[in-house]
Structure 1
Amino acid sequence: MTDQEKKPPFMERVGLRYFQRLSVKYPANFDPDGIHVLNPSERKALRRIQRNAVLRAATAGGISAGLAVLATVLLEQPMLGDYPDTIPLSGKVGYYAAVMAITILVTTLEVAFLYRDALRSVHRLSAKAGLELFPDTGGTKGDEAAVAVALVRAALELPNPPDDLAGVNPRREISKIRVLVSTLVYKLKATVTNFLVKAIVRRIVGRAGFRAWIEFVAVPVFAIWNAVITWWVMRQARIRAMGP
């Protein structure tokens, strides 16, 4: 098997390097006898790490959605005038392009923050639980990095690697594509949820004075979605590190 065939997926390599840096800066509460029993204080700390990760993710989702909505609302009058409904679709191209550009930028920053914070939170979880991810050499080879790899994959929502076929892993380089597709699917789910919630609010509220603010329904919707996904990620990390 060549080195190229053995090379882990890109996202996994990035996550492992980040874990290595964090392990140097924040070493685990390692027990020399190899057995670390969590005391009540440590269990409380683990719950706090999980809770704070969920809160940060929800906040990031709310801020991201809020900025995108603000762009939609604030750019409408300057670019479309007082009567946007009278402008043909061809006259709205610049407006939609500006809103889309801002939304893509904000979403990219949000996703980058979420992945970085997930890795950082999962590492803190393992350190507080007494898991030494890179014993002895601090490297990423062999069984020494098995737990670290599992935790990185949990943080990045990557599947466990399939068995090699004839010495070649057919999925060794799809992590970047999978992460992109997973992000798009997640955003699509959140967008559909946002659309349905706004439709319900419109039916309930009805009054034109409130309809201008209906777009801000996206803020709690995306915050809740981020919170749910992060809770799931932290749960999977805990299971992979310590069992159910």
Structure 2
Amino acid sequence: MRKVYGLFYNILPIKKVQTDDELYLLNDAEVAAIKKRERIAIVSAAFFGAMGVVLLVIPPHLFPQFFPVTNITVLGKAFALPLILWMYSIVLVYIELLLLTLLNIWVAHEMAVATGFLNYSNKGAEHKRNLMLDIGLEKKNRQVLEYGIDPLQQANRKVILVWNLMFMLKATLSNFVFKLFIQRVFGRYMVQMLKDMAGIPIFAFWNAYGTHVILNKAKIIIMGQNFIEGISQSIYKVQPETPEFKAMLYDTLQFIAISKRDFHENHFLLTKNLFALYNITAKDKHLLTEDYLDRVKSLETKEKNIVLLLIITGFLLDGKISFREKQTIREMNLHGVFEETEANISRWSHDFLYGKGLDELLEKYLGDAYKMNVA
């Protein structure tokens, strides 16, 4: 199917937008183009979800003769199974997922065009094509494992598996609860078809929400490309390559990964750039020591500021501050590592996601070195 998705990506047109050279800063034209595409994508996703329910419910009620029950005998017991309805449901689900995937690829493509990441001359580049497809297919980038960094270090993998399964079933569970509520409210006076149709707003909402997540992910990955390269180069210019700093850098990248508990394209790119700049040798597995925050606290001011900048940048690189990261921020405050508030970091996250830049953050932790680079 990836070949099919690749062909779809290839035929998507490049609609010219007045972009600038800074991928992580959005001008008025770029913001307007992105908002227009966001509205189209979210409405389309909600429509697909609603139509999926309509097409599943109405035909069997209006044309029951086309959905007969199949009688099957197993071990002497007779079962009446709606096999045709089940097959029809599977086909509908497949079509809906296909449409949503194509919509997600379109979303990623349009975000890239609107920010200037894609244009007529570079759209055919293999790495950009693969990146757009991976975003649209919601494929996790696990290449960070090649550097010995594991976001799931010290995690209970069974709990994570159960949580992911629950998240995948969110729309079905929501629909079940909503229908149960309606049944309790209206009781036997509720018409069965109307009760089944109650799933329309549930599936429309979750489809719209899922597309909204893809929109943000596309923006944050695309805008992160130049920003990560720039901040990596800035750090390398001001911080010498010493064995002590390289060890702290390795630990910091692992600390960020554990805080996020996720495989993210931007964290991989940050790791890749810094490993290359500082010529760090990757291990098969890099374990974070329990005294990491104490060691950060004891660093000299300049080196400490760079490490803190990396940690905060790591929090921002997926466009959201998770509950776990908020706990980490509070823990760092308790350790006296820094005094940044959740509100400050959330504001920087919002600014980065919406293309307002991070000058305040960079000036605070890089100081004169950042001002010289800008000048």
Same fold (TM over 0.5): yes
Between the aligned partners of 1:208 and 1:126, the Cα distance in structure 2 is 51
Q: What is the DSSP-based 3-state SS (H/G/I as helix, E as strand, rest coil) of the residue aligned with 1:213?
A: helix
Give the conservation status (yes or no) of the 8 Å contact 1:28–1:129.
no
Does 2:130 match 1:125? no
Give the conservation status (yes or no) of the 8 Å contact 1:42–1:128.
yes
Identity of aligned pairs, percent?
23
Question: Could you state the TM-score of these two structures normalised by the residue count of structure 1?
Answer: 0.68
Tell me which of 206, 213, 224 is aligned to 2:205: 224
Does 2:218 match 1:237? yes
After the TM superposition, which residues 131-170 of structure 1 pair with which residues of structure 2 at under 5 Å, given as runs? Answer: 131-132=117-118, 135=121, 138-140=124-126, 145=127, 147-163=128-144
Q: What is the DSSP-based 3-state SS (H/G/I as helix, E as strand, rest coil) of the residue aligned with 1:92?
A: strand
Change (3 A) 1:80 1:209: farther
- 1:53 Cα deviation from its structure 2 partner: 0.4
- 1:118 Cα deviation from its structure 2 partner: 1.2
Post-superposition Cα deviations, 1:119-166, rounded to whole Å, max 9, x if no partner, equal 1122112112111368469331xxxx2x44333222111101325769
Between the aligned partners of 1:109 and 1:78, the Cα distance in structure 2 is 20
Between the aligned partners of 2:169 and 2:213, the Cα distance in structure 1 is 18
- 1:192 Cα deviation from its structure 2 partner: 1.7
Between the aligned partners of 2:132 and 2:36, the Cα distance in structure 1 is 18
Give the conservation status (yes or no) of the 8 Å contact 1:29–1:127.
yes
Give the conservation status (yes or no) of the 8 Å contact 1:45–1:128.
yes
- 1:42 Cα deviation from its structure 2 partner: 2.5
Give the conservation status (yes or no) of the 8 Å contact 1:58–1:222.
yes
Tell me which of 9, 12, 15 is aligned to 1:19: 9
- 1:211 Cα deviation from its structure 2 partner: 4.2
Aligned residues: 200
Provide the residue aligned with 1:173 in structure 2: none
Does 2:34 match 1:53? no
Change (3 A) 1:113 1:191: same
Q: RCO greater where, 1 or 2, for CA within 8 Å and sep 6 or more? A: 1
CA radius of gyration, larger in: 2
Change (3 A) 1:99 1:79: closer
Q: What is the DSSP-based 3-state SS (H/G/I as helix, E as strand, rest coil) of the residue aligned with 2:80?
A: helix
Provide the residue aligned with 1:104 in structure 2: 90
- 1:16 Cα deviation from its structure 2 partner: 4.6
- Aligned-residue RMSD, C-alpha: 3.3
Question: Could you state the TM-score of these two structures normalised by the residue count of structure 2?
Answer: 0.46
Give the conservation status (yes or no) of the 8 Å contact 2:18–2:29.
no
Q: What is the DSSP-based 3-state SS (H/G/I as helix, E as strand, rest coil) of the residue aligned with 2:143?
A: coil
Give the conservation status (yes or no) of the 8 Å contact 2:18–2:30.
no
Give the conservation status (yes or no) of the 8 Å contact 2:21–2:116.
no
Does 2:43 match 1:43? no
Between the aligned partners of 2:193 and 2:58, the Cα distance in structure 1 is 11
